[in-house]
Structure 1
Amino acid sequence: MNMPSEYTALPPEFMQAHPALSLLRLAALSAGPEGILDDDTLELMFEQVETGALTLIAPSDVWPELVRGLMANTPSNMFRALFASGALAEVLPEVLAVFGVPQIADNPPEVDIGQHLLRVLDEAARCNAPLAVRFAAMAMHVGKADSPPEHLPVHYRHVERGRPRIEAMCARFGVPADCRELALLALVECERIHRVGEVRAGPVAALLERIGAFDRPQRYAQLMTLCACDYRAYGGRAAQAYPKGVLLERALKACAGIDAAAPGASAETADAVQEARAAAIALAFRSERWSG
């Protein structure tokens, strides 16, 4: 296909004075309507990368172009263009590193993390998710790039490896605080949310507390949107309701009449609130653990 129509609107002086920015802008615009780049364009981009153009651009100037692509209709197209031109290794080496790395799944039994990441981003765009969700989708797997081969497709201790990498990415680009916070939260909690069940009401109550369900509803909603996008990015789940999201909403509604502990309350009071929430969740789930 041809270059994106928006690209032709860039003034020639911009193209000449900012070759690296023009490369990134073209990749970002490829995520919009009619944006898939043809081979000749990708070859020109590759040649620019080979000349070292991207080494001359400040990360703070890279970030707006990444945002432009992340917030477009098909973010995966930007990453494919960056990958094909060699620019992804210069701009987001942490993300490039997860391509080709396997992760356990249901059907098929393994997925390529990088390819899965692209599907999650496009699902987030389909849901009109905010930037924080899309950034977290891009960043939350970076600790899995160098998992010990003997453990694959399982990724032990990826949280410990992922945290400093996400923090470094955020510092490098000057990422907004809400994006950083959600990415770090998703790093720790997304897979736990995927595994949540009805059997143990206490851990469900504790999970809801950790992810802000009681006191930070916006952050909770964003995390659940991300988890739903991650779930639907696996084969055969497109447009399906997210079962764990439904489950946690039942648990949250069951706790609606239980007031949170006041700031500075004693540990005993906080424990009593958690116990009351767990009991309410158990009743909603009809959990045998709490049936007495």
Structure 2
Amino acid sequence: MNAEINPRPLDLVQTDPALGILRLAALSAGPDGKLDDETLDLIFERVEAGVFAAMDPAAAWPELVLGLMGRTPSNMFRALYSSGALHEVLPEVAGVFGVPQIADDPPQVDIGQHLLRVLDEAARCDAPLPVRFAALVMHAGKSDSPPEHLPVHYRHIERGRPRIEALCERFGVPGECRDLALLALAECERVHRVSQVRAGPVAALLERVGAFDRPECFEQLMILCTCDYRAYGQRPTQDYPKAALLGTALQACASIDEAGLSSGRSAAEAAESVLTARATAIAVAFRSERWSGGAE
């Protein structure tokens, strides 16, 4: 069990008290463990006093990074949420706590609690910062889904994109973190639904997520989706079957002569030829249909 941090009162007396609170919360994600109730009460009082009103988000970003890259990132965000500070610092994230989402095992989860489990799994896997940041913010569009639709979140991508973009602008988030967060917003759930029955949508998905031209980004998305998968139910050590499936599909496309297929064709014709060749190769590897329209 993690030890509890019981800081001296002076630990909160900083030039900027808001940054002092974030530093304490970030340190709780490290080896020393959770903040104690007395400290959380003190933070709550500071939040109520309005210390976050004048906080410079750009100055707060390094504190968020410190917590995200800690051994147990959930400790930081639980402390911020329970003290009311998360609503001041990251309202886009605070808003998803208590919001249900459909799942398979269990059949429904609290999005906020789920993302905390994803963060800790990402830490266990020693995932890089873009993966952890994407895990934190990719559900931003689900906080205000119409109640009659819950636990399903229709059109959350359209709502989430401007929120993530505004958040990244506010904090000065690095481009690689922003890009992966937006990619995860659009594609993570599609990765979870990918099927070997239809090769065409698999080829199209691989292209959209950068598997052919942005391998590092693709790898980080697979890490994120794996952590998300393992955060459900009793899966903390299980392999992620969709990552293996997409790996097989990607390998099947490795020998395709893209230059030859593109020669003498317009850009649109070349893209279609390459996509068809990839779908054909994937269908052979999957022993499935060559092509079937529609997104996964």
TM-score bin, normalised by smaller chain: over 0.9
2:68 pairs with 64, 70, 92, which one?
Answer: 70
Given that 1:258 and 1:276 are in contact with CA atoms closer than 8 Å, whether structure 2 keeps it comes out as yes
Q: Which residue of 2 aligns with 1:209?
A: 207
CA 1:150 to 1:283, structure 2 compared with 1: closer, same or farther past 3 Å? same
CA 1:95 to 1:229, structure 2 compared with 1: closer, same or farther past 3 Å? same
Q: Deviations over 1:129-183 (max 9, x none)?
A: 1110000001100101111111111100000000000001000000000000000
Q: Which residue of 1 aligns with 2:55?
A: 57
Give the C-alpha shift of residue 22 in structure 1: 1.1
Q: Which residue of 1 aligns with 2:236?
A: 238
Separation in 1, partners of 2:33, 2:17: 19
Separation in 2, partners of 1:137, 1:13: 29
Q: Which residue of 2 aligns with 1:26?
A: 24
Given that 2:105 and 2:233 are in contact with CA atoms closer than 8 Å, whether structure 1 keeps it comes out as yes
SS at match of 1:56: coil
**1:121-160 aligned within 5 A:** 121-160=119-158
Gaps of 5+ in 1: none
* Amino acid corresponding to residue 277 of structure 1 in structure 2: R
Separation in 1, partners of 2:93, 2:277: 42
CA 1:209 to 1:288, structure 2 compared with 1: closer, same or farther past 3 Å? closer
* Amino acid corresponding to residue 183 of structure 1 in structure 2: A
2:5 pairs with 3, 6, 28, which one?
Answer: 3
**TM superposition score normalised by structure 2:** 0.92
Give the C-alpha shift of residue 2 in structure 1: 3.9
* Amino acid corresponding to residue 121 of structure 1 in structure 2: L
1:81 pairs with 79, 84, 87, which one?
Answer: 79
Q: Which residue of 2 aligns with 1:114?
A: 112
Q: Deviations over 1:258-291 (max 9, x none)?
A: 133569952222211111111110000001456x
Separation in 1, partners of 2:76, 2:176: 23
SS at match of 1:171: helix
Give the C-alpha shift of residue 18 in structure 1: 2.4
Separation in 1, partners of 2:138, 2:209: 15
SS at match of 1:197: coil
Q: Give the aligned CA root-mean-square deviation in angstroms.
A: 1.9
Q: Which residue of 1 aligns with 2:164?
A: 166
Give the C-alpha shift of residue 108 in structure 1: 1.4
- Which deviates more, 265-274 or 185-194? 265-274
CA 1:265 to 1:126, structure 2 compared with 1: closer, same or farther past 3 Å? farther
Q: Which residue of 2 aligns with 1:280?
A: 281
Give the C-alpha shift of residue 213 in structure 1: 0.4
SS at match of 1:34: coil
- Which deviates more, 266-275 or 185-194? 266-275
Given that 2:197 and 2:289 are in contact with CA atoms closer than 8 Å, whether structure 1 keeps it comes out as yes
Q: Which residue of 2 aligns with 1:180?
A: 178
Separation in 1, partners of 2:116, 2:58: 23
Give the C-alpha shift of residue 13 in structure 1: 9.2
Give the C-alpha shift of residue 20 in structure 1: 1.6
Given that 1:163 and 1:187 are in contact with CA atoms closer than 8 Å, whether structure 2 keeps it comes out as yes
CA 1:106 to 1:42, structure 2 compared with 1: closer, same or farther past 3 Å? same
**TM superposition score normalised by structure 1:** 0.94
Separation in 1, partners of 2:289, 2:175: 41
Give the C-alpha shift of residue 222 in structure 1: 0.3
Separation in 1, partners of 2:249, 2:78: 40
Gaps of 5+ in 2: 292-296
* Amino acid corresponding to residue 81 of structure 2 in structure 1: F
Q: Deviations over 1:229-285 (max 9, x none)?
A: 000000111110000000000000000101335699522222111111111100000
Give the C-alpha shift of residue 55 in structure 1: 1.2
